[in-house]
Amino acid sequence: MSKRLQTIVLEAILLVIGITTVFPFIWMVLSAFKPNSEIRALDQSLLPQEWTLDNFLSLQDKFDFIRFFANSLGIALIVTALTIYTSCLCGYVLAKYRFRGRNAIFGFILGTMMIPWAVTIIPRYTMFEAWGLRDNYLALIIPAAMSGFGIFMLRQSMSDIPDAVLEAARIDGASEIYIFHRIVLPMSRNPISALAIFQFLWAWEDYLWPYLMMDSEEKQVLAVGLTTFNGRYGTD
Residue-wise pLDDT for 54-104, tens only, equals: 888 877 777 778 889 999 999 999 999 999 999 999 999 999 999 999 999
CA–CA dist 206, 175 (Å, integer): 39
Burial 189-209 (b: 16+ CB within 10 A, else e): eebbeebbebbbebbbebeeb
pLDDT bucket at 231, cuts 50 / 70 / 90: low
Three-class SS of residue 131? coil
Q: Which amino acid is at 171?
A: I
The pTM for the full model equals 0.80
pLDDT at 157 over 90: yes
Q: What is the pLDDT of residue 234?
A: 54
Question: What CATH number belongs to 63-233?
Answer: 1.10.3720.10
The rounded distance, in Å, linking the Cα atoms of 224 and 68 is: 9
Query: What pLDDT is stored for residue 182 in this prediction?
Result: 93
pLDDT at 236: 52
The alpha carbons of the chain give a radius of gyration, in whole angstroms, of: 24
C-alpha distances (whole Å) from 190 to each of 27, 106, 182, 186 are: 33, 22, 15, 9
Which sequence spans correspond to the domains of the chain?
3-61, 63-233
